[in-house]
Amino acid sequence: MAKTLPELRVLIDAVDLELLALLNRRAALAHEVGEIKKVEGSVVFRPEREAQVIQTLQSANDGALKNESVAVIWREIMSACRALEAPQRVAFLGPRGTFTEEAALRFFGSSIQRIPCTNFDEVFHATTSGAAEYGVVAVENSTEGVVTRSLDLLLNSPLHIVGEISLLVRHHLLRTTASLEGIEVVLAHPQALAQCQDWLTIHLPHAERRAVSSNAEGARLAATNPAWAGIASERAGSEFGLHIASHAIQDDAFNRTRFVVVCLPSVLPAPVATGKDCTSLVVSVPNKPGAVHDMLVPLKTHGVSMTRFESRPARSGQWEYYFYIDLQGHPSQPHVAAALKDLEGLCAFYKVLGTYPLAD
Ligand SMILES: O=C(O)C(=O)C[C@]1(C(=O)O)C=C[C@@H](O)C=C1
């Protein structure tokens, strides 16, 4: 006979107690690992080990849980275990509720010490100075293109890229009431204002568009004035007690932002190859005819795919440029190593920004 609801709940309670005991056993083991790492002075956060744990479980999973859920649950379990070894401090563009915070939580799980920063420079500074082990910054958006300040900061920074996260970004219009009546000012980060410009032109043609340091800051300010609205995430809305006056106002329904995780190489060395990796470089070539074409030849010769090619002014006043290139592959693969060696030989400036597993 089928069990009743109260009976099922009693069984669930019993399973939960078993799970709790098991999780605490796991936590105690992770704590022991942490003690060994302290003695050895080795790295706490091992993303490749965490990826391996999740992969093994997903392959073994023959129950009702979706593999996606297995990944989410174990990311959180390992985040909590990691925090028992040493809480990882992660700097990101704040305040609380930004998409960058969401990206950081997606990558590290929620058991981290969050260090919200007021701008990109501060994220780099906190991570370089050791105030944070890791920094998370946006680098490109599918509607608006590159986040130029992040690219400029990566050029001269000792930090390297150790991971990436790609988020579907849905912007909502947030304010103290749920209507569009009487909005005089819309506050958001310039990237978000740009990603919603068609919607703003149609629905709020007379509202001033005011750029602020982050969307969450716009939401925070919108909470202080009924004639103001912010453009930000649902999380930012609940953080500041705002209503959603209009849902998903971004001009592109599939608007995505790509974030990278940066740290000093002494905090985490370059991740080992996973088979699905990206290598990011910044280079410059002498300002002469055919130089940019020549630069791409080694990639073709050695069969390396380029997934991104961006240019930024070198600020020399000479119409010179830095080129930001993403390649598919890892330098431990011979064809990638050969292409990089040939490319370096052609460049006036050459820097590997990082090599890391591709986001799902
Ligand atoms: O295997 C380790 O090195 C651990 O520290 C344990 C553990 C885990 O909880 O499984 C925790 C943190 C690391 O990032 C990787 C895995």
CATH number of the domain that residue 285 is part of: 3.30.70.260
Q: Which domain holds residue 130?
A: 42-168+258-267
pLDDT tens, residue by residue, 44-69: 999 889 988 999 999 999 999 999 99
Q: What is the domain-level CATH number for residue 206?
A: 3.40.190.10
Per-residue pLDDT at 200: 97
**Is 81's C-beta closer than 6 angstroms to any atom of ligand 1?**
yes
Cα–ligand 1 centroid distance for 107 (angstroms): 14
Tens of pLDDT along 90-143?
999 988 888 899 999 999 999 999 999 999 999 999 999 999 999 999 999 888
Q: Are strands 256-263 and 134-141 parallel, antiparallel or unpaired?
A: antiparallel
Instruction: Give percent of the chain with pLDDT exceeding 90.
Output: 86
Asked whether residue 138 falls in the same domain as residue 87, the answer is: yes
- Ligand 1 atom with least separation from CA of 78: 9
Kindly state whether residue 35 falls inside one of the protein's structural domains: no
79 and 138 share one domain: yes
| Closest C-alpha to ligand 1, atom 16 | 50
The answer as to whether 25 is a domain residue is no
> pTM, whole model, 2 decimals?
0.89
pLDDT score, position 115: 97
Left, alpha or beta for 154 (phi > 0: left; psi -120 to 50: alpha)?
Answer: alpha
Asked whether residue 188 is assigned to any structural domain, the reply reads yes
Going from the Cα of 122 to the center of ligand 1, the distance in angstroms, rounded, reads: 29
Question: Would the pLDDT of 318 be above 80?
Answer: no
For residue 360, the model assigns a pLDDT of: 73
Average pLDDT over the chain reads 94
Compute the distance from residue 85 Cα to the ligand 1 centre, in Å.
9
Domain final position from 233, 267, 301: 267
ipTM of the complex: 0.99
162/176 same-domain check = no
* Pair (262, 318) in one structural domain: no
Number of domains in the chain: 3
Average pLDDT rounded to a whole number, residues 27-47: 95
The alpha carbon of 30 and the centre of ligand 1 are apart by a number of angstroms equal to 6
Answer yes or no: do 198 and 147 share one domain: no
Give pLDDT, residue 122.
97
- Residues marked active site are found at 257, 259
Indicate if 99 and 192 belong to the same structural domain: no
27 in ligand 1 pocket by Cβ < 6 Å?
no
Same-domain check for residues 183 and 162: no
Q: What is the reported pLDDT for 165?
A: 95
pLDDT of residue 60: 98
User: Are residue 62 and residue 104 in the same domain, yes or no?
Assistant: yes
DSSP for 135-154 reads EEEEEEETTTEE-HHHHHHH
Res 287 pLDDT > 90: no
User: Ligand 1 in contact with 53 (CB < 6 A)?
Assistant: yes
Residues forming beta bridges with residue 172, ordered by sequence position: 232
Residue 316 pLDDT exceeds 90: no
Could you give the dihedral angle defined by the CA atoms of residues 19, 21, 27 and 32, in that order, rounded to the nearest 10 degrees?
-140
Query: Distance between CA 309 and CA 289 in Å, rounded?
Result: 19
* 178 and 320 housed in the same domain: no
The reply to whether ligand 1 has any atom less than 6 angstroms from the CB of 26 is no
Between CA 308 and CA 338 the distance in angstroms is 19
Q: Is residue 252 part of a domain?
A: no
Q: Among residues 129, 111, 88, which one has the least CA distance to residue 264?
A: 129
**Residue 78 CB less than 6 A away from ligand 1:** yes
Backbone φ, ψ for residue 307 (5° rounding): -105, -10
Q: pLDDT tens digits for 202-242? A: 999 999 999 998 899 999 999 999 999 999 999 899 989 99
